[in-house]
Amino acid sequence: MLALDRKLLRDLVRLWAQALAIALVMAGGVASILIAVGSNRSLEETRIAYYERQRFAHIFAHVERVPNSLMRKISRIPDVAAAEARIVKTALLEIEGMPEPATGRFISVPDGKAPSLNRPYLRRGRMPAPGAADEVVVNEPFAKAHDFLLGSEFHAILNGQKRRLTIVGMALSPEFVYAAGPGDVMPDNRRFGVIWMNERALAAIYGLQGAFSSVSLTTTRGASQEAIIQRLDTLLKAYGGQAAYGRRDQFSHAFLDHGLDMLRSMSRTLPPIFLGVAVFLVNLTLGRMVLLERGQIGLMKALGYRDRTVAFHYMKFVAIVCAAGILIGWGVGNYLGSYVTELYAGYFKFPLLIFAPSPDLYLLAAGLPVVAGVIGAMRSILNVTSLPPAVAMHAAAPPKFRRGSAPALLPEAMLSPLMRMTVRNLLHHRFRAGLTVLGISTSTALLIASLYIGNSMERLIEVKYFRAERQDATVNFVHTQAASAIDDVTRLPGVLAGEGVRTVPVRIRNGMNERRILLYGRAADADLRQIIDTQLRRVAPPTNGLAISEWLARSLDVDIGDAVEIDLLEGRRRTVRLPVTVLVEDYFGMQATIDLGALSRLMREGARINQAELRVDRSRLGALYDSIKTIPAIGGIALQLVSLENFREAIVVIVTAMATIYTGLAAVIAFGVVYNTAQITLSERARELASLRILGFVRAEVYWVLVAELAILVVLSQPVGWALGYAIAWIMKQDLDADLMRMPLAINPETYAISSGVVLGASVCSALLLLQRIYKLDLIAVMKTRE
């Protein structure tokens, strides 16, 4: 073994704790890339393969009734690769042992063969046999929620007829990767199911023989979806259809996109933090090594070692630390990446979802510590090669302390001699102290950024479920009803109050900016569902304008007073122009609200509703459920309490998991920065501390000199960390906000306290490790060293 390699091993043994701390910070950066990018790629690649294999459509449209003969014209639209008609209906389900009604989305499949588009992926069983009128295939999550087996039966109220259906298969669908029922934000596999049934049987039930109610299209590569949608809308306009829409507006696809955006945001935010801290630690540790070994470097150069040989010797130290960080990061990243992927797999139903990063991702992740190591070591290596042997073999000039440095912070009379030493040392090394404060503050900031998601979700729940949407249940009608239908609903058992709502799909446009949204019509005196403006104040639905969310206004580039064009996509389709009169706070989707009477005038129809929002007596829910099951006009019921429980359950799992991961990574940063700073400070001041011991100071006083410096740096870093954490949270919010869902930027005081507490805890652990070295300080050996 070469002499320099033996020296390298001795250095590694001597500095193993500092090297490990640096390696752990680098490992955090490697792991964060594998977690975020690896999980994102796994989901994205699985989605692409799943969509292609099951031929997920690009464009969708729903109508009341269209003759099958129109499909020839639809298929001839330019750039349409394939088109398929089907029947899609929503109905109530009766399931034994379940008091509340469930909702089923019934989709027809060609008798005796698989659909050409949106193909179900069979997990068990088979498709309904040709001519079978009561055989169905259900989506697997719904079957698992009810412990259904092949051959299990349940009832459905189809077009007013109660039918017993037999399960012959269980499947997944690319159309329902994220399967939420009508009126729900989160999936509820117990109360919402997707059911595939033979086309001939479903057509006979709804009187749609020779007709369809839904059409799906795939397009050629590079086709203009907007042009195809316009042509399709023109063909379907006479048949009472809603406007066609693309994948971007398909609920399941949009929600999956939002989940992928969260992972992309993480991959953009975290790795740079670890890179900066790793650069700082490598520079700090290697720079101190070079300074402490100044004489040895001069001796090596005097013995004939070239500059590049000496530089390469120190680079090998960095390379070993980087290699350790890479290996640890790969292992931790694989484990946590698999965990995060499984977490997402619990909400997005794929046939198979495996965390399997490609080799290029491992190389990308490894590049982080390599870049950090090279950047951090560059300054120290230049110092190695710049010193002539004769100069290097001389001790460095002692630092100059001028009287008056300490009073720059506090009057000298207020400082004890030991504290004066601490303050002077910090002032002398201002740049290094500033970097240390910045390094510690990043760990506080990272904790705040991870914990703020939980705070924001609680604020979202408060505004959505307790201030705005105060109803207990929302009933969805199969077809629009006269406004007087709300009187019939309020007479149902257990209903205390009810309000009618009318929703109309529209395109809202300002110049080239256009969005497809729902326009809500609400009564001026509506109390169950209140409109909340951006100041969280209640406002009435406007009669001569629109109330739109602040996010929608930003997307359209409009403000209060600006006029927008609205294409009504239901009934007598026409275009109207209305001013924006109110900006509201709405965290889910994009929608606009108008007075119910004003909407009726826009639609040129009488007062009509298609939803009823209810306040109910929870002690009589059973009687209400029994009544709803007997009303064919009702297609489903969404329960606010269940929706809140599902939302909390889903968010708590994700937030807790992510917060735990980030807390661990932040603690690693805090420990790494503080521990390295403490060890370097001890090495630099060993002779000074030994002198204090010889002069009669006890170990506790000597220990205080060292710890006081660390304590000052940690305390100074907290306000910086709070500000930096708020900034990172703001950046993450901008990245995470999307058309489907936004989060308020809310950081509670306890979040700052918890974040600082974790960092202080890590700092205390580092300080306790120093105590052992102080007690083992060899006074004679230290005093023999040269200044």
Would you call 163 helix, strand, or coil by DSSP?
Answer: strand
pLDDT higher than 50, residue 407: no
Pick 156 or 453 by higher pLDDT.
156
| 173 pLDDT tier (thresholds 50, 70, 90) | very high
pLDDT higher than 60, residue 282: yes
- Whether 209 and 63 map to the same domain: the answer is yes
Q: What is the pLDDT of residues 460-475, one digit of tens each?
A: 888 888 888 889 889 8
- Whether 41 and 139 map to the same domain: the answer is no
The whole-number pLDDT of residue 450 equals: 78
Report CA-CA distances (Å) from 293 to 48, 299, 380, 464, 684.
56, 10, 12, 63, 12
Q: What is the pLDDT of residues 627-650, one digit of tens each?
A: 888 888 888 888 888 888 878 777
The whole-number pLDDT of residue 787 equals: 47
| 12 pLDDT tier (thresholds 50, 70, 90) | confident
- Whether 14 and 134 map to the same domain: the answer is no
| 780 pLDDT tier (thresholds 50, 70, 90) | low
What percent of the chain stands above pLDDT 70?
90
Task: Report yes or no on 451 lying in a domain.
Answer: no
- Whether 216 and 360 map to the same domain: the answer is no
pLDDT higher than 50, residue 229: yes
Of 13-17, 57-61, 348-352, 699-703, where does mean pLDDT reach its minimum? 699-703
Contact 368, 271 (CB under 8 A): yes
Distance, in Å, from the CA atom of 188 to the CA atom of 176, rounded to the nearest integer, reads 12
- Whether 239 and 260 map to the same domain: the answer is no
Q: How do 121-125 and 135-139 pair as beta strands? A: unpaired
Would you call 585 helix, strand, or coil by DSSP?
Answer: coil
Token pair listed for 539: 């406002």
The whole-number pLDDT of residue 112 equals: 77
Q: What is the pLDDT of residues 553-567, one digit of tens each?
A: 999 999 999 999 998
Mean pLDDT of 583-611: 89
The whole-number pLDDT of residue 762 equals: 79
pLDDT higher than 60, residue 710: yes
Token pair listed for 447: 């904790």
Of 215-219, 409-413, 438-442, 718-722, where does mean pLDDT reach its minimum? 409-413
Return mean pLDDT, the chain. 83
Pick 443 or 282 by higher pLDDT.
443
Task: Report yes or no on 680 lying in a domain.
Answer: no
Task: Report yes or no on 349 lying in a domain.
Answer: yes
Task: Report yes or no on 147 lying in a domain.
Answer: yes
What percent of the chain stands above pLDDT 90?
28
| 406 pLDDT tier (thresholds 50, 70, 90) | very low
Task: Report yes or no on 758 lying in a domain.
Answer: no
- Whether 377 and 512 map to the same domain: the answer is no
- Whether 104 and 192 map to the same domain: the answer is yes
| 396 pLDDT tier (thresholds 50, 70, 90) | low
Distance, in Å, from the CA atom of 29 to the CA atom of 520, rounded to the nearest integer, reads 46
Q: What is the pLDDT of residues 317-360, one digit of tens each?
A: 888 888 998 999 899 888 888 888 877 777 788 887 777 778 88
Which strand (E) or helix (H) includes residue 639?
strand 634-639
458: which strand partners? none
| 405 pLDDT tier (thresholds 50, 70, 90) | very low
Q: Dihedrals φ, ψ of 583, to 5°?
A: -105, 130
The whole-number pLDDT of residue 673 equals: 74
Domain C-terminal end among 195, 219, 247: 247
Domain membership of residue 301 as a residue range: 1-56+248-388
Task: Report yes or no on 644 lying in a domain.
Answer: no
Domain C-terminal end among 388, 421, 442: 388
- Whether 112 and 193 map to the same domain: the answer is yes
Q: Which residue has the tokens 């890339």?
A: 33
- Whether 91 and 227 map to the same domain: the answer is yes
Got the DSSP string for 393-442? TSPPPPPP--TTSGGGTS-GGGS-HHHHHHHHHHHHTHHHHHHHHHHHHH
Domain C-terminal end among 616, 639, 658: 616
Q: What angle do CA 748, 754, 760 make, to 5 degrees?
A: 145
Pick 83 or 695 by higher pLDDT.
83
SS3 content of the chain, % helix, strand, coil (to 5): 55, 20, 25
- Whether 151 and 264 map to the same domain: the answer is no
The whole-number pLDDT of residue 720 equals: 93
Task: Report yes or no on 741 lying in a domain.
Answer: no
Crossing angle (nearest 10°) for helices 251-292 and 39-54 = 150
Pick 453 or 715 by higher pLDDT.
715
- Whether 205 and 116 map to the same domain: the answer is yes
Give the end-to-end CA distance of the chain in Å, rounded to a whole number. Answer: 32
Would you call 76 helix, strand, or coil by DSSP?
Answer: coil
The whole-number pLDDT of residue 679 equals: 74
Mean pLDDT of 48-62: 92
The whole-number pLDDT of residue 570 equals: 82
pLDDT higher than 70, residue 50: yes
Mean pLDDT of 423-433: 76
- Whether 218 and 261 map to the same domain: the answer is no
Of 258-272, 424-438, 457-471, 538-552, where does mean pLDDT reach its minimum? 258-272
Task: Report yes or no on 649 lying in a domain.
Answer: no
Of 103-107, 192-196, 764-768, where does mean pLDDT reach its minimum? 764-768
Q: How many domains does the chain have?
A: 3
